[in-house]
């Protein structure tokens, strides 16, 4: 028959799922209640971080241990350890959550956020083609589809596979030399993501800390348009980050995009340039350029943000290959692919 002491002995030997040290070292047992007549055990446990996949796995581990020892039912509540306790185990916690990797101050990875003020300006197209161009230039590149509500990167790059999970690590999918992770991999049949801000932040943090990126030169983030929760999370998580702002030539698009640039500057992110997308349409027959969305928005935005106009990208469809389908990626020798190669070199020079 289980007693409070026997429950304490059993649970004390289990390891905090984040710190990877026994609960007896963290004083992680807050409360224990045993109802002998019903063989019901109730425990309240303090762990390093709640609301994670590790917590769910740990919860099942606690239930299994106690039921094997005679409990017919188990109730568990979780809280987080005090900050002073976490500080004592900071080194172990950093190693367990991956903060010695990408998010470490000693990381050699350059974070590059691709932002826009509004949707529909081709920000994701710029993201996937810039990532591909950097990889073609010999750089080790990762791409996070951080537009969690409007994820589109896997489809744009023609990615049909899903990430592999080995142990507690997620291995991104590689395409065109770019390692990719996206919310699209974790939903079924293009289902909508109905989440509030804190849940989005936890998912984004998982993309940084639970994905096995390896040694990257650049990690690009395709941000949601505007200045909402995810953009705020990125700015708080990445104190050192470069940004490229995407706009169309239309004055209103440039005006709205300036807000995203201003947000970057206010959080000490460096705006390294502006890309003007959909700059014009050039007729294959006459060679005449039609400025469908007006002119001058890119230059105006670059001047306002005190940065440079990296390139003007015209309207033109990539060459599609049914055998190697990637509907939004331009070949290296495509005229627009060459423009992205120029942008990649400018990014390299400015970072």
Give tens-digit pLDDT for 184-203.
887 766 555 555 555 666 77
CA–CA distance, 82 with 27 (Å, rounded to integer): 10
What pLDDT sits at residue 193? 53
Looking at residue 330, what DSSP letter applies?
A: P
Work out the pLDDT band at 96, boundaries 50, 70, 90: very low
Fold of domain 110-350: Rossmann fold (3.40.50)
Region of poorest pLDDT, from 112-116, 148-152, 295-299: 148-152
Please say if the pLDDT value at position 263 is more than 80. no
Helices (H), ranges, 210-318? 229-237, 251-266, 297-304
Distance from the Cα of residue 315 to its chain's centroid:
28
Q: How far apart (Å, rounded) are the C-alpha atoms in residues 9 and 24?
A: 9
Where is pLDDT greater, at 249 or 187?
249
Counting residues of the chain whose pLDDT is more than 70, the rounded percentage is: 89
Q: What is the architecture of the domain spanning 4-97? A: 2-Layer Sandwich (3.30)
Which stretch, 204-213, 256-265, 276-285, has highest mean pLDDT? 276-285
> In terms of residues, how long is the chain?
351
Domains 4-97 and 110-350 equal at CATH topology level: no
Domain ranges of the chain: 4-97, 110-350
Alpha-carbon gap, residue 317 to 329, rounded angstroms: 9
Only one residue has tokens 């999370």, namely 233
Query: Between 204 and 162, where is the model more confident?
Result: 162
Element (H, E) at 230: helix 229-237
Give the pTM. 0.69
pLDDT in tens, 72-90: 999 999 999 988 887 777 5
């Amino acid at each position: 028959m289980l007693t409070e002491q026997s429950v304490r002995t059993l649970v004390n030997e289990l390891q905090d799922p984040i710190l990877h040290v026994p609960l007896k070292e963290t004083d992680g047992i807050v409360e224990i209640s045993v109802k002998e007549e019903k063989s019901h055990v109730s425990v309240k446990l303090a762990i390093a971080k709640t609301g994670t996949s590790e917590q769910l796995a740990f919860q099942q581990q606690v239930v299994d241990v106690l039921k094997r020892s005679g409990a017919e039912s188990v109730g568990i509540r979780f809280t987080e350890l005090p900050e002073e306790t976490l500080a004592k185990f900071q080194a172990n916690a950093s190693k367990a959550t991956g903060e010695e990797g990408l998010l470490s101050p000693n990381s050699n990875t350059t974070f590059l956020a691709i932002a826009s003020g509004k949707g529909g300006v081709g920000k994701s197209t710029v993201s996937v083609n810039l990532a591909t161009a950097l990889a073609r230039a010999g750089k080790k590149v990762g791409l996070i589809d951080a537009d969690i509500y409007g994820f589109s990167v896997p489809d744009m790059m023609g990615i049909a596979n899903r990430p592999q999970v080995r142990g507690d690590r997620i291995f991104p999918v590689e395409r065109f030399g770019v390692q990719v992770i996206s919310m699209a991999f974790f939903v079924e049949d293009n289902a909508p993501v109905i989440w509030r801000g804190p849940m989005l932040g936890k998912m984004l943090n998982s993309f940084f800390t639970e994905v096995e990126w390896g040694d990257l030169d650049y990690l690009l983030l395709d941000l949601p348009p505007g200045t909402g929760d995810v953009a705020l999370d990125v700015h708080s998580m990445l104190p050192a980050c470069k940004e490229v702002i995407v706009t169309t030539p239309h004055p209103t698009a440039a005006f709205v995009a300036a807000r995203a640039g201003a947000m970057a500057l206010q959080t000490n992110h460096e705006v390294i340039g502006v890309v003007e997308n959909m700059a014009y349409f050039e007729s294959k027959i006459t060679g005449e350029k039609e400025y469908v969305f007006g002119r001058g928005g890119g230059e105006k935005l670059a001047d306002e943000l005190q940065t440079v106009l990296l390139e003007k990208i015209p309207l033109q469809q990539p060459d599609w290959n049914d055998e190697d389908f990637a509907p939004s990626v331009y070949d290296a020798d495509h005229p627009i692919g060459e423009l992205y190669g120029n942008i990649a070199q400018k990014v390299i020079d400015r970072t």
